[in-house]
Amino acid sequence: MKKAILIILASLLILLPLSVFAGGAEEVQEAGPVSFDFWTTETQSDRMATIQVLIDTYTTLYPDVSINLVAVDENDLATHVQTASAAGTLPAMFEAPAETAVAFGVEGILDTAAVTDIVNGIGKDKFYQGALKVLETSAKDGYYALPYHGWVQGLWYRADWFEEAGLEPPATWEATLKAAKYFYKPDENQYGILVGTKPEGYAEQCFTPIAMANNAALFDKDGKLVFNSPEMKEAVEYYAELAKYNPPGPQTWRARDYYLQGKLAMFYYSTYIMDDLALQEVAAGSLTSENFENLKGSGFDPELVDKTKLAPIMTNKASAGYGTVVAFGLFNQDDSAKTAAAKNFIKYLYTQNAYITFLHMAPGGMNPMLKEISTNARFQNDPKGIFKHYGAEKMGEIIQGLDSIETFSIVDGNRMEAASVITAQQIIPQMLYKVTQEGMDVDKAMAWAEGEMEKLVK
């Protein structure tokens, strides 16, 4: 393990002079030693080791800087931040999901000016715009944190089937429903689409971009609950129609097995599916008959990855994508030297070699927020050899969904905390289950859901 880390460190030191800070010329570190804490939610030991290598590389270049890496479980981060804020011991830098970062920003404990300065230095146009949008301040004059990595969800589909049938890619409501109907052949154990119908998180992940593509929302910009709207009703009715072309029974992400065994035309999933499509050893768990009695099991299809494409954006009245953005942020500090050092370290993490080293900790799960990295040859050469099965062009298409990320929790830059509570209580998935599996009338189901939401809001 130590030998591998030393090799990575040596490689970074050799390559670093070829890299230029994304924000232009690097900042000159102030004279004198400075130390700051960096809280990360990458708690796995192998990821911690890789981040430590990046820190060691940086501090070799800047020997007067000391960075203390601290692992904090994502579920405990908010509590730790509250405690540290009260004690005046907040770290200079942190890594967290975008919504969490926005929540810290709303509390007024983030240095948004320093973050915005980095974004402007890199260039706003170099980022995927959807990723920047979810971190925009309520005044829309800056950013709470910097998008660094994340995953994209969309409809993975059999491009060869679509081409043979002369069908358009499933990028619109109309095209998706048409294809779902066309490929639905239950007598042949073939199904048109997979959308979540169990009362759990996967169903809301599938439903969110569909609803937001119809301009449906939970709240307006003033925080008023507007769930029970004509736009939302249309989205629920449309979703229920799609669900008719699912594999049998209430379904969740596990039904991806149908796709990997050649029995499904489309399925909603994140970029974490990329290694399942490309690598036999990863796909093995989906190629058995253990999970579904009407699947007999099959061998690995090495050509499936080439036959597959992703439609990351759904369009109807608007366009919407879905995904998760993980960001770097800066907490307010009394010591300006800590802020300056943390800013410079973040700039370093956006340099090509450091950035790609970080992203390669989880190929497919960690995608870049800078457009130019997604098609970079070194990024394509991941340690597991996953991306070589996709190629630069297809990788660019996949990650493009980051341009259109939408969420119920952020409206015009304002974070709706109640939306996160509604998600945690799985109200929308329960409503979808009532409609798709129990046959409840859409109006009644929506009235029930709105009533439950009102209880939480109050």
pLDDT at 10: 44
Tokens 């209880």 belong to which residue? 455
* pLDDT confidence of residue 393: 84
**In b/e form, how buried is each residue of 106-134, taking b as 16+ CB within 10 angstroms?**
eeebbbbebbbebbebbeeebbbebbbbb
Residue-wise pLDDT for 297-328, tens only, equals 999 999 999 999 999 999 999 999 999 899 99
Measured CA angle at 310 (ends 306, 316), to 5 deg:
150
**Tokens representing residue 323 in the block:** 């995904």
How is residue 400 written in tokens? Answer: 């493009």
d(CA 173, CA 239): 10
Task: Please enumerate in sequence order all residues whose Cβ is within 8 A of that of 198, keeping only pairs 6 or more positions apart, or say none.
Answer: 250, 251, 252, 429, 433
Q: What is the mean pLDDT of each run of 10 residues along the chain (458 residues)?
A: 45 44 44 90 95 97 96 91 96 93 89 97 94 85 94 96 98 98 98 96 94 96 94 98 97 97 97 94 95 95 96 94 94 96 97 96 93 90 91 84 84 76 90 98 98 91
The reported pLDDT for the residue numbered 5 is 46
φ/ψ of 146, rounded to 5, equals -105, 125
Please tell me the distance from the alpha carbon of residue 97 to that of residue 274, in angstroms, as a whole number: 21
Q: Which domains does the chain have, with CATH numbers?
A: 2-151+323-404 (3.40.190.10), 152-320+414-457 (3.40.190.10)
Q: Are 424 and 203 in contact (CB under 8 A)?
A: no
| Cα gap 399→369, rounded to integer Å | 9
pLDDT of 445 reads 98
Q: Are 67 and 36 a contacting pair, CB within 8 Å?
A: yes
Q: What is the pLDDT of residue 401?
A: 83
